[in-house]
């Protein structure tokens, strides 16, 4: 059945020779398709319009029927051009809403080589399952050979305890720690880039470790008020008893070696081991075993530290759930607290980590620990939905459909490519393989306005790019 003509808000109507009705409204083309409507925004002459305005489907278009169309304006017809009758508009694009690509948009940031994938979910409606993240997906994303690569994934979410926003972080193994010092610096830099904030901006961020307040400094680094350390055994938590230094202390035997250790909490657990030479420590051997030592019921981050001077320490990091990392902000704070308590360092010191230095200050008057350090943008990217990628590969190979017989012969189980086989309706309504995906799309469309969807798709990368350009060049547009 040919698409039916439809009328625009302006009341004008343009009939095409092939039965396609294209509205000449200056804001969009409106097509009538199988008694439904599809709005196609015109191509933009500027670069700003190229990112996300070329194709936008109105929410009134339901996902089941096929849609055959080509927007002539996207083929070179200017917005002010004559009616489409004289423009090339042959129907040669086959688009289905069930196959419109879904993408995971992210930015990668690093703090002293401790790198994270940043996701902005501050406007998300479902904050418990935002972006569809699962531990398995986090592991895939953080894999440095088969994924994007990173020490973790960080979400910026709506507040739930009175702060400005909430932070969730997932380690590379899919576990969720309470906090991460380098991570929250990266989050602050990410927020500043997204929103165009300048020096002096602070954020009230709720974490599983409590309220954390980072501040953007004039030199572009981030100062974080990490709060007071936890020095009671049950707060860390650890089974080590409080020692003469006023924090949990003791000796732990690991793989035939005995270490004198001290523990401190920064909202997450840390064990600190002073040694004569950190470079001589087998970090993989001892770090992995200390992380899961019975003295730490929630596991622990492990830090070996060498004291060069009272105000200069060198440390190596084994992060809980991530293994050896180039830096750990909460670990640097815990290490300074432990070393000062043991009489090995001053209250303020530079701590050299494999990724670079952090400056830590344990303030005597307030008891709070402050951390100064860098956070830098690495790149932005998007990850397409696997189903969309598979469909694109089939198209590139010239395959229009995968029949149940072919799928059964190649995989041993009957499968259906709903995008092509079910063009005229679901052929397996009692056991539809795409029902769950369509339900997720429907839920998203029901819970999110069209304006919000467009804003998310078109503004995020552009605003961050502009903010970084203005910050780095001192120019504003």
Residue ranges per domain, the chain? 1-95, 103-225, 233-363
Residue 369 CA to chain centroid, in angstroms?
27
Q: What is the pLDDT of residue 81?
A: 33
Query: What integer pLDDT is reported at residue 207 of this predicted model?
Result: 94
Tell whether pTM > 0.85.
no
Q: Is 328 a catalytic residue?
A: yes
Total Cβ atoms within 10 A of residue 25: 16
How far from 82 is each of 14, 73, 114, 287, CA to CA, in Å? 11, 11, 56, 71
- Do domains 103-225 and 233-363 share one topology? The answer is yes
Structure tokens at 460: 């995020």
- Considering 186, 328, 333, 418, which one is annotated as catalytic? 328
| CATH fold label, 233-363 | Diaminopimelate Epimerase; Chain A, domain 1 (3.10.310)
Which of the following is catalytic: 180, 186, 194, 422? Answer: 180
The reported pLDDT for the residue numbered 281 is 96
Tell me if residue 50 is catalytic.
no
103-225: in CATH 3.50.50.60: no
Is residue 145 left, alpha or beta, with left meaning phi > 0 and alpha meaning psi from -120 to 50?
Answer: alpha
Q: What φ, ψ does residue 448 adopt, rounded to 5°?
A: -130, 130
pLDDT in 10s for each residue of the chain, 477 residues: 433 333 333 333 333 333 333 333 333 433 333 333 333 334 333 333 333 333 333 333 333 333 333 333 333 333 333 333 333 332 233 233 333 346 788 999 999 999 999 999 998 776 666 777 889 999 999 999 999 999 999 999 999 888 999 999 999 999 999 999 999 999 999 999 999 999 999 999 999 999 999 999 999 999 999 999 999 999 999 999 999 999 999 999 999 999 999 999 999 999 999 999 999 999 999 999 999 999 999 999 999 999 999 999 999 999 999 999 999 999 999 999 999 999 999 999 999 999 999 999 999 999 999 999 999 999 999 888 777 777 777 777 765 444 444 444 444 445 566 655 665 667 777 777 777 766 776 777 677 776 676 666 666 566 666 666 676 666 655
What's residue 424's pLDDT? 62
Rounded Cα–Cα distance for residues 436 and 434 (Å): 6
């Amino acid at each position: 059945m040919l698409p039916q003509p439809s009328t625009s808000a302006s009341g004008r109507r343009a009939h095409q020779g092939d039965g396609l009705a294209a509205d000449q409204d200056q804001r969009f083309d409106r097509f009538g398709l199988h008694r439904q409507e599809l709005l196609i925004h015109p191509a933009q002459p500027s670069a700003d319009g190229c990112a996300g305005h070329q194709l936008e489907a109105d929410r009134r278009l339901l996902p089941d029927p096929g849609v055959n169309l080509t927007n002539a304006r996207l083929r070179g017809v200017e917005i002010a051009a004559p009616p489409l009758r004289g423009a090339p508009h042959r129907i040669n694009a086959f688009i289905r809403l069930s196959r419109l690509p879904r993408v995971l948009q992210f930015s990668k940031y690093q703090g002293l080589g401790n790198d994270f994938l940043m996701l902005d979910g501050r406007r998300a409606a479902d904050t418990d399952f935002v972006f569809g993240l699962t531990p398995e997906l986090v592991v895939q994303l953080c894999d440095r050979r088969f994924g994007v690569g990173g020490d973790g994934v960080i979400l910026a979410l709506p507040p739930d305890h009175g702060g400005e926003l909430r932070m969730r972080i997932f380690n590379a193994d899919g576990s969720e720690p309470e906090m991460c010092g380098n991570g929250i610096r990266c989050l602050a830099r990410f927020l500043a880039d997204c929103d165009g904030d300048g020096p002096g901006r602070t954020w009230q961020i709720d974490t599983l470790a409590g309220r954390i307040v980072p501040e953007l400094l004039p030199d572009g680094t981030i100062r974080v008020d990490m709060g007071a350390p936890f020095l009671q055994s049950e707060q860390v938590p650890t089974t080590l008893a409080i020692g003469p230094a006023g924090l949990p202390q003791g000796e732990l035997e690991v793989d035939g070696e005995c270490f004198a250790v001290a523990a401190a909490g920064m909202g997450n657990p840390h064990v600190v081991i002073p040694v004569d030479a950190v470079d001589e420590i087998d970090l993989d051997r001892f770090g992995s075993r200390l992380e899961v030592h019975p003295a730490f019921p929630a596991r622990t981050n492990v830090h070996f530290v060498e004291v060069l001077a009272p105000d200069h320490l060198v440390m190596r990091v084994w992060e809980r759930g991530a293994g050896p990392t180039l830096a750990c902000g909460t670990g640097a704070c815990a290490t300074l607290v432990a070393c000062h308590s043991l009489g090995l360092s001053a209250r303020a010191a530079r701590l050299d980590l494999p990724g670079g230095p952090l400056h830590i200050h344990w303030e005597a008057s307030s008891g709070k620990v402050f951390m100064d350090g860098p956070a830098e943008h690495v790149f932005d990217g998007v990850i397409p939905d696997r189903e969309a990628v598979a469909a694109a590969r089939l198209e590139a190979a010239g395959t229009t459909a995968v029949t149940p017989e072919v799928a059964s012969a190649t995989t041993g189980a009957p499968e259906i490519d709903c995008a092509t086989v079910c063009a005229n309706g679901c052929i397996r309504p009692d056991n539809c393989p795409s029902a769950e995906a369509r339900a997720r799309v429907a839920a998203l469309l029901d819970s999110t306005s069209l304006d919000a969807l467009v804003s998310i798709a078109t503004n995020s990368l552009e605003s961050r790019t502009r903010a970084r350009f203005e910050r780095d060049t001192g120019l504003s547009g």
